[in-house]
Structure 1
Amino acid sequence: MQVRQLTEQISVSPQILPGDLDTLAAAGFRSLVNNRPDGEAEDQPASAELAAAAMQRGLAYRHIPVMPGSYEPATIDAMHRALEELPAPVLAFCRTGTRSTTLWALQAARHTDADALVGIAGEAGYDLTAWVPRLRDARRA
């Protein structure tokens, strides 16, 4: 499991497993956001399994599934609400961390410059340059 910090509030990672939650809790994470749809891969734990394991460790949990390349306004809004409501720091995860990073950037783009978001994502190892037009549009909306 490779956790990459975007801001003090949120980090992202590839898929986590129930066995990772003790380590994440010990690292100080207080909330998890699962951006992966259930059933995407055979070896992927179900959201309900992760939610139960999170609850056992006192971690808040949200499931905000994103199909690759499909970032609907309702999903962006759900991520925004989650980051406002959940105790920080938050770990968002998907298969590789890219969807979680993109979703974070799209919700943050309302109030943050697109180039700054691309830079933050790039420092964490995620290339969002293809998303610059949409990030700029979100800022103007």
Structure 2
Amino acid sequence: MNDFRKLSDRVFASPQIAPEDIAAAKGAGVTLIVNNRPDGEDPGAPQGGEIAATAHSAGLDYRAIPIGHSGFSEAQVAEMVEALDGAGGKVLAYCRSGTRSTFLWALAQARTGAATPEEIAAAAREAGYDVSPIRPMIDMLAAR
């Protein structure tokens, strides 16, 4: 059973997905799956290669932008901006709980000016995520 949480009209965040969630993602209009979970973080969870293979066999694009527990880098934010800009449809980003995916989406939104910090925080809150731990980063990127 999937737990795709709507962050925007084009982006969903989700806790760890399984290969059987790919069909539901495709049915929701997803064309790109972004994996924000490093392989090996939980050896019992489906690893990136398995999700990538299932996504590709379903005709979906797949991209890995792993976010470890050390935090976010400018390069990872840039990769997420590129992934979102290049997606031909909706995007499903996932990690263990969906929090890192939401944070990365929020930072990408702030960096591009696609939404104000308040709009970003409200969208995340509506999806069940709290971006207050990274709010200073959101504000800094939005001010650029």
TM-score, structure 2 normalization: 0.93
* Amino acid across the alignment from 1:81: E
* Amino acid across the alignment from 1:130: P
Unaligned runs of 5+ in 1: none
TM-score, structure 1 normalization: 0.95
- Deviation, 1:69, is 5.0
Aligned-residue sequence identity (percent) comes to 40
Q: Distance in 1 between matches of 2:69 and 2:127?
A: 19
Q: Distance in 2 between matches of 1:139 and 1:116?
A: 12
Match in the other structure for 1:42: 43
Match in the other structure for 2:12: 11
Match in the other structure for 1:113: 116
* Amino acid across the alignment from 1:117: I
Match in the other structure for 2:85: 84
- Deviation, 1:20, is 1.4
Q: Distance in 1 between matches of 2:133 and 2:47?
A: 30
Match in the other structure for 1:135: 138
SS in 1 for 2:59: coil
Match in the other structure for 1:94: 95
Q: Distance in 2 between matches of 1:84 and 1:101?
A: 16
Which stretches of structure 1, 4 residues or more, deviate above 4 A after TM superposition?
Answer: none
1:35 and 1:100 in contact (8 A); partners too: yes
Alignment of 1:59-78 (within 5 A): 59-68=60-69, 70-78=71-79
1:115 and 1:132 in contact (8 A); partners too: no
Give the superposed CA RMSD: 1.1
Unaligned runs of 5+ in 2: none
- Deviation, 1:132, is 1.6
Range that drifts further, 89-98 or 65-74? 65-74
Q: Distance in 2 between matches of 1:68 and 1:117?
A: 22
SS in 1 for 2:100: helix
